[in-house]
Chain A
Amino acid sequence: MPVPVYLPRFDPSHKSSTILRWLVSEGAAVREGDPVCEVTSDKVDMEIEAPADGTLAGVQYPVGAEVPAATVIAYVLAEGESTADLPQPAAAAPAKSGATDGSRISPVARRIAEERQIALDTVTGTGPGGRITRRDVETALPAPPGKVRATPAARRLAREFDVPLENISGSGPRGRVQGTDVQALVDQRQAAISQSGATTKPQVIKLEGMRRAIAARMQHSSQTAPHIFVEVQVDGSRIEQLRSAIKARGERLSVTALLVKACAWALQRHPRLNATLEDDVLSLWPKPHIGVAVALDDGLIVPVIHAAQAHSLRQTQTAVDDLAARARSGSLRPDDLAGGTFTISNLGMFAVDRFTAIINPPQVAILAAGRMARQFVPNEHDQPTLCPVMNLVLSVDHRAADGADAARFLADLKAVLEEPDLMLW
């Protein structure tokens, strides 16, 4: 009887191999132990040896074919045998079922094992007297690649907590991953985190109302407007003098009000930055409507001083104070917030040296003002002199204007802040 040549199962996880080359061609003589075929698998390349003396015949798989483990790949004919003695193909394909006593396998189990090429001697029977049942064979079936047996609850939890199901050993029937298995892993992970001293639970705040609006507008601006930042340093000596003079009169001039007035003055000369950009349309506005960012307990709001060029410094101060007070008391009207063409954000009172701001869309520019700090600055004789200095950073939407536009505007702004008399011009 022809002796089958098996692709053996190298280890329990070995599922299949590819035929690398046949070392002996059909019809050639072999001796027991001769290598007849070379196969590859995930782990190793192996030589398959002839199981007996004789002639190689009935090669079942060509080079390159993928062969399930524990499958007959060829036969060795004994002297006097011919290819006519080979088993018919239908009987050659199945696993070596002959090794198992036929009476101890249910017919359904045998059929499935043959169809799916499961070697029955690798299956443990759980039926009466160790009989192999359908269920036993099904349990032995390899799970399809990429598929994990898991309950819907387990899948949901894995999704929610971002845990890969593949790494979880399931406690359910046939290794099915249960929701409780995923939960246990998540609990374990969280216990490990809290033991390591990391914070246990964060305070959770849902973005709502103003916070949500700020988030949406700033994200939109940051993602759609290509920002360029241009900075100047302003000598604040004359500003200080002016503020002292006004203070001496028992009145008050804030840096913010002065910035509003100065920006209004400069914007009239640089309408390119007194603009809004919407849907590829750039609108240059004839009058500067200047928004002033006001910090609130949770958020910020930008009331607008409309037609700021028409206000005197004193009127500007009054308007800024009024808007800021009403912003904090929550009594701004919709009109107070509408129609801005430029924004000023002043963090000088927080002892900030300099910062950059995100443009308030659809405007195209925003001015970020730092504090007035005393610094040594070289005078005209290159001698250090102590003077008040303020950093201004202008953010510009590069779609609407260029660095040179920003620079020209800042030059005028610097000029008017260093020489406030120019405001009269």
Chain B
Amino acid sequence: MRELTYREALREALQQAMEADPTVFLIGEDIGVYGSAFGITAGLQEAFGEERVIDTPISEAGIAGACVGAALTGMRPVGDMQFSDFILLSMEQLVLQAAKMRYMFGGQAKIPLVMRLPGGSGTGASAQHSGSYENWFVGVPGLKVVMPSSAYDAKGLLLAAIDDDNPVMFFEHKLLYNTKGDVPAEPYRIPLGQTHRVREGRHVTVVATSIMVSRALEAAETLAQEGIELEIFDPRTLRPFDDGPIIKSVKKTGRVLIVYEAVEMGGFGGEVAARIAGSEAFDYLEAPVRRLAGKDVPMPQSRVLEYQAVPQVESIVTEGRKLARNEY
């Protein structure tokens, strides 16, 4: 099959959605002439014109507000936050308005908007441009939260997100943009709310999101040489969260490692751990449920410290090994 980068897969999804539906448009900072900070929208303004690929001033609340208003009136906007960190400026529009309107208007309104959110660390962009804020949205009824971990998922999930009539927070990872994978040329959709088992194994259930999925897969290769098998799950959608396959797996392995980049405390991994502990899988646990996540610091600028601040392949190997060897 044809290989595309995660970046190209996202661009293709946007292009195909815009070709198929004239109500789909893009709005954000530097997404037109410049092709966006990470090159996702390169060439799209030339292809679809300035009315459908709209450059805005530096006003994230304005972008979000325009998206909410346009969605209310029947458009399908795709906002671009340049860096997901800046989503904090548009919280009111998204959390107080977009997430609640359908409910408060008795179902008479729908808000089919997508907010594209390039996030994560690893580029030396320091504390204000490297955040992982997905967990800020998973507790908001009315929103959906999506985190693609591969090029294939990026295209299929973005097309599904654009189709969805609810506001969708779409968290991309900057380090994934250049990663390659098989991507079908035709449009396809990956249903939101389906956990994906990316590797089968017997000893430790690993739940990983975004870039941690590929790190977990790499760690699994190392551990496999020691006879330790990781079974890796990618929720793909954090809200709604499909915990069924994970609970089933824990009943088999009895051991869980949850890997995510956001700061450990208050992160999505806590939700995963609680779901497992509160499920029928509890009676099958052979070790405490472990989390491996971001350190409790603002993201350091030093590349050395930045590397240490989030889970890496080596730390997943170490944790997986300790769990499998009954050291917890």
Contact = CB atoms under 8 A, between A and B. Distances in A.
B225 interface: no
Nearest to B285: A152
B286 A178 contact: yes
Nearest to B254: A153
Contacts of A173: 326-328
Contacts of B286: 151, 153-154, 172, 178-180
A180 B253 CA distance: 11
A408 interface: no
A21 interface: no
Q: Which of B282, B326, B328 has its CB near the most chain A CB atoms (within 10 A)? A: B326
B92 interface: no
Interface residues of A, number: 12
A261 interface: no
A171 interface: yes
Contacts of B326: 171-173, 178
A179 B328 contact: no
Interface in B269-302: 282-287
Interface in A43-88: none
Contacts of A156: 283-284
Contacts of B283: 152-153, 155-156
A174 B286 CA distance: 14
Interface in A220-248: none
A272 B24 CA distance: 87
A155 B282 CA distance: 10
Interface in A151-173: 151-156, 171-173
A168 to B, nearest CB: 14
A173 B327 CA distance: 6
Chief secondary structure at chain A's binding surface: helix
Interface string B287-328: 100000000000000000000000000000000000000111
A153 B327 contact: no
A180 B202 CA distance: 14
A153 B285 contact: yes
A170 B254 CA distance: 16
A152 B328 contact: no
A153 B284 contact: yes
B328 A151 contact: no
Contacts of B254: 151, 153, 179
A90 B136 CA distance: 49
Interface in A172-195: 172-173, 178-180
A154 B254 CA distance: 10
A155 B285 CA distance: 10
B327 A179 contact: no
A202 to B, nearest CB: 26
Nearest to A176: B326
Contacts of A155: 283
B324 to A, nearest CB: 12
Interface in A123-166: 151-156
A254 to B, nearest CB: 57
Contacts of A179: 254, 284, 286
A292 B282 CA distance: 53
A152 B327 contact: no
Interface in B62-88: none
Contacts of B282: 152
A156 B282 CA distance: 9
A172 B287 CA distance: 9
Nearest to B283: A156
Nearest to A171: B326
Q: Which of A153, A154, A172, A173 has its CB near the most chain B CB atoms (within 10 A)? A: A153
Interface in A67-124: none
A292 B290 CA distance: 66
B115 to A, nearest CB: 40
Contacts of A180: 286
Nearest to A172: B326
A180 B254 CA distance: 10
Nearest to B251: A153
Contacts of A152: 282-285
B167 to A, nearest CB: 39
Contacts of A153: 254, 283-286
Q: Which of A152, A154, A179, A180 has its CB near the most chain B CB atoms (within 10 A)? A: A152
A82 B285 CA distance: 59
A179 B286 CA distance: 6
A151 B327 contact: no
A152 B281 CA distance: 9
A283 B284 CA distance: 55
Contacts of A154: 286
A156 B283 CA distance: 6
A156 B250 CA distance: 14
A305 B287 CA distance: 66
Interface of B: 254, 282-287, 326-328
18 contacts: A151-B285, A151-B287, A152-B283, A152-B285, A153-B254, A153-B285, A153-B286, A154-B286, A155-B283, A156-B283, A171-B326, A172-B287, A173-B326, A173-B328, A178-B286, A178-B326, A179-B284, A180-B286
Interface of A: 151-156, 171-173, 178-180
Q: Which 10 A-B pairs have the closest CB atoms?
A: A156-B283, A152-B285, A151-B286, A153-B286, A172-B326, A153-B284, A153-B254, A152-B283, A152-B282, A179-B286
Given A152-B282, A153-B285, 19 more contacts: A151-B254, A151-B286, A151-B287, A152-B283, A152-B284, A152-B285, A153-B254, A154-B286, A155-B283, A156-B284, A172-B286, A172-B326, A173-B326, A173-B328, A178-B286, A178-B326, A179-B284, A179-B286, A180-B286
